[in-house]
């Protein structure tokens, strides 16, 4: 069953606004139990350049107000749709 995206009611329509403090610009996404794999190529001078980066999330993901820490996870799916 696919989860319905909850769209916030801020202005313009769909803008996330923290109900606790009114913040509408600073947000934090927190992912638990994350595995990050980065593949590097070593250059002829001995330095390294990242070639590829894979991230797997095995735990919960939270979406929080970046000012007061209010839990806004109900809008996380909307956040993902609106991240460009």
Q: Where are the beta strands (DSSP E) in the chain?
A: 27-31, 34-42, 48-57, 61-65
pLDDT tier, 9 (very low <50, low <70, confident <90, very high otherwise): low
Q: Which of 84, 68, 83, 76 is nearest to 7 (CA)?
A: 76
Give this prediction's pTM.
0.71
**Do the Cβ atoms of 14 and 79 come closer than 8 Å?**
no
| pLDDT for the residue numbered 14 | 73
pLDDT per residue over 14-49, tens digit each?
Answer: 789 999 999 999 999 999 999 999 999 999 999 999
């Amino acid at each position: 069953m696919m989860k319905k995206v909850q769209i916030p009611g801020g202005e313009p329509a769909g803008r996330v606004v923290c109900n606790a403090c009114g913040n509408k610009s600073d947000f934090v996404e927190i992912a638990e139990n994350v595995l990050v794999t980065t593949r590097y190529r070593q250059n002829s001078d001995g330095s390294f350049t990242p070639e590829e980066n894979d991230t797997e999330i095995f735990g919960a993901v939270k979406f929080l107000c970046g000012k007061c820490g209010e839990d806004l996870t109900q809008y996380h799916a909307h956040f993902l749709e609106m991240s460009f």
